[in-house]
A and B are shown apart, each in its own frame.
Chain A
Amino acid sequence: MAEPIDSILRVNLNTKPDAINNLKTLSSTYNKDSGNFLLQSKYNQLILNFTQKNPTTKQSLSSGTETIKKTFQTIKNTAGSYEFANEIDWEIWEAIVENYENFVNENTNTLNELISKGIPKEIRGIIWQVAAYSKDLNLEDFYLQLKNETSIHEKAIKRDLTRTSFFTNIDAVNKSDELFNIIKAYSLYDPDVGYTQGMIFIGVPLIMNCNESESFCLLVTLMKDYNLRHLFCPEMQGLHLLLYEFDRLLESYSPILYNHLTKQGIKSSMYASQWFLTFFAYKFPLDIVLRIYDIIITEGMESILKFAINLILKNESNLLNLSFDKLLEFLKDNLFNIYISDEFINTENNKRFSFTKKSSNSYYKLDQLVQDSLDINVDPLDLQKFQNEFNHILEKEEKKGEEITNLQVENGALRKEIKQYEFKFNSINADHLDTVQTMVDLKITLPDLLNENSELKELIEIRNQEIEELEAKIGKDIPTTIEDQIKELLDINAKEVEKSANLEEELQNLLIEEENLKKQLPNHTWFKW
């Protein structure tokens, strides 16, 4: 399963150099001979984180751990008198509490075995806090302050608390105020994440094993240092990453099953989202969830993959025979059935089981379940490789998204252009239609006009002929009217000539008379007057 580091490094040579450094650092956090890489790696990563924190926080965390050690002593001393206490190997747990770092690195396999059998419930909260390095006295003070503030998520948290049967059905019910407080305080502490459905499931095991402020510190540590907040942040990238890692692991562990599921159209997000978002608390009872928590807190969030892969592999033969609908049903309800204790199988007629079973004997073979899951030794370097792939795909997808946005913008602009052209086209078209209409009208009137034209031409012809005829006539005889007029004029003329002749005769007579008169005058002094 584990690939040599070089091959992984080669894959990443053309990526950023700090990615290679990260891989080197990561590979230094665990021993390749150990049977559980994640167990060592998680704690050493936490310690690396710790060294980078500011002095005040470091101080506060160290004192916190010291306080826990003291609490452990108290429990050990008071518990000694009870019967159950004999079942606990106090010596070894004490050694673990006193020097967890040493134990993780030197006695990995012993620690692994102890945890896989389940951390005793009396000291579960203590071990969790030691392994997570979570108890932070300053943060606890801050919590007391946050607790009294109001959050915009309060209504939603309250509403979901009453709707979460995992919570309402179990003994934790009398801790509902505490649970509400830490979830609300977290929504104030990390406003980007706020409150997400699923967080209640995460909070229940914490509040059952630690006091209120310790639970808050553990929640914050899980969210920040275990990356849980990426599961719940707005784009839920942490979830998508886990699903991707799950797919790759399943593909390598059982290509047949992977192919079958893919062919049937089943995607891991359809059934595994709720596993990862609630660490199996959504469907499965508290005793299973607590055992899963033992592993999550000591090995990191990614150890949930071991449970997921194991469950699906153990049911491989069943799953291979099912198709879409039945697969989803089976994946939702029946995966854990293979771990039902024999005593319950015999009495159980109904295939479905009760989630609220309260029995001293566990309904499930818990040890078996955890043991089988831990046999899957997930390599942090593989996970890192998957994560790089995932980020790469994500980048590509983002670029594609950008491209799509750009294309959409372009598309929008083009569409606008089209609209404008359409508008232009419409107005041109309207003009065109008008023109066509006029043309049609003209065409309709044209024959009439032509007719008219030829009629007129004929008329002209006729007129011309008439004119010719008339001209010819003028040459031969003057029209009577003119003749009459001429006659009349000639008459008038004759009369005038006669008149004039008469007048001239008269004048002649007058001139003769005057001559006579002059002769009669004595001296021609007519003008001497």
Chain B
Amino acid sequence: MSSQQQQSSSTSTNNNSLQQPIPTISVKLVLLGEAAVGKSSLVLRFVSNDFQENKEPTIGAAFLTQKCTINNQIIKYEIWDTAGQERFASLAPMYYRNAQAAIIVYDITKPASFIKARHWVKELHEQANKNITIALVGNKYDLVEDEEEGGANENEESLRKVSYEEGLNLANEEGLLFFETSAKTNHNITEVFVAIGEKIPKDKSNESNINNGNEGGRIDLLNNEHIPQKSNTCC
């Protein structure tokens, strides 16, 4: 299946690494962000290099995996794609609680989704792993690409509602990776995952694999997972 396909980011391979078995690292990654910003589309592009105009709303959460080679290391991403609607917030903690990486997605044409992204950053800082690697991603870049590359009509109101600087500032303030992407045109998608793979603390992820003791990366069991957790995001 598609999860076997490998994407290579490092073109230079030395002979040594060809002879030695390349270590595989599992990275638990969770996608968060408002409904319809393109979380599932982002994953679909990364995992299957595909795009659907009318992607179904995610109900609950979906699990996908994808391997890629980053700096002579195979990283197996174990991805939880969550449902974006506020209502599903009580399910989210169990997916981000033990995640090593998170992608917080907003839609650069929807200001409300950027506000929601701020909430997620806050919640993750408060509730998730202390050394979680977070990437902030402004999606649907294709919608503003044309107007920004000169063809824009001065009088027409721009579709872009969140500027690149706003995103970058938030990312800098909070120590996040930052990208503007398009799942539709495959703009910057691989870059996001490569950057996460490069930034993630390596020994830590190995450690957690050993601790897990079983081959699949998984969400740890807390006894009371059915109990809805008060979401921290609603005010």
Contact = CB atoms under 8 A, between A and B. Distances in A.
B215 interface: yes
Nearest to B83: A197
A236 B87 contact: yes
Determine chain A's interface SS by DSSP, over half rule. helix
A234 B226 CA distance: 15
Contact of B221 (A240, A267, A278, A390): A267
A390 B227 CA distance: 8
Contact of A197 (B55, B57, B228, B234): B57
A264 B218 contact: yes
Interface string A226-239: 00000010111100
B56 A163 contact: yes
Interface in A142-189: 156, 159-160, 162-165, 168
Contacts of A160: 36, 57
Contacts of B94: 267, 269
B61 interface: yes
Most buried by A among B35, B61, B78, B87: B87
B215 A236 contact: no
A240 B55 contact: no
A59 interface: no
Contacts of B215: 323-324
A511 B35 CA distance: 149
A88 to B, nearest CB: 35
Contacts of B91: 236, 269, 273
Interface string B211-225: 000111111110011
Contacts, number: 109
Contacts of B234: 234
A277 B60 contact: yes
Contact of A390 (B85, B217, B218, B226): B226
B209 to A, nearest CB: 13
Interface residues of A, number: 45
B59 interface: yes
Given A164-B56, A265-B216, A235 B62 contact: no
A197 B85 contact: yes
Interface string A250-268: 0000000000001111110
Contacts of A390: 226
Q: How large is the interface on B (under 10, 10 to 19, 20 to 34, 35 or more residues)?
A: 35 or more
B228 A240 contact: yes
B54 A165 contact: yes
Contact of B90 (A156, A236, A274): A236
B164 interface: no
A323 B215 CA distance: 8
Interface string A306-337: 00000000000000000111001100100000
B61 A270 contact: yes
Contact of A264 (B35, B54, B63, B216): B216
B14 to A, nearest CB: 31
B35 A265 contact: no
B118 to A, nearest CB: 20
Given A168-B54, A196-B87, A269-B91, A237 B228 contact: yes
B230 interface: yes
B65 A325 contact: yes
Nearest to A159: B36
Contacts of A103: none
Contacts of B57: 160, 163-164, 197
B81 to A, nearest CB: 12
Contacts of A332: 62-63
A345 interface: no
A282 interface: yes
Contacts of A196: 85, 87
Contacts of B230: 235, 401
Given A269-B91, A325-B63, 15 more contacts: A163-B55, A163-B57, A197-B57, A197-B59, A197-B85, A197-B88, A234-B87, A235-B228, A237-B228, A240-B90, A240-B226, A264-B218, A267-B225, A269-B226, A282-B56
21 contacts: A164-B57, A168-B54, A196-B87, A234-B86, A234-B87, A234-B234, A236-B88, A236-B228, A240-B226, A264-B218, A265-B214, A265-B216, A265-B218, A267-B219, A270-B61, A274-B59, A277-B60, A282-B59, A394-B227, A397-B224, A401-B230
Nearest 9 pairs of A and B residues by beta carbon:
A324-B216, A265-B218, A273-B60, A235-B228, A274-B59, A397-B227, A240-B226, A197-B57, A328-B63
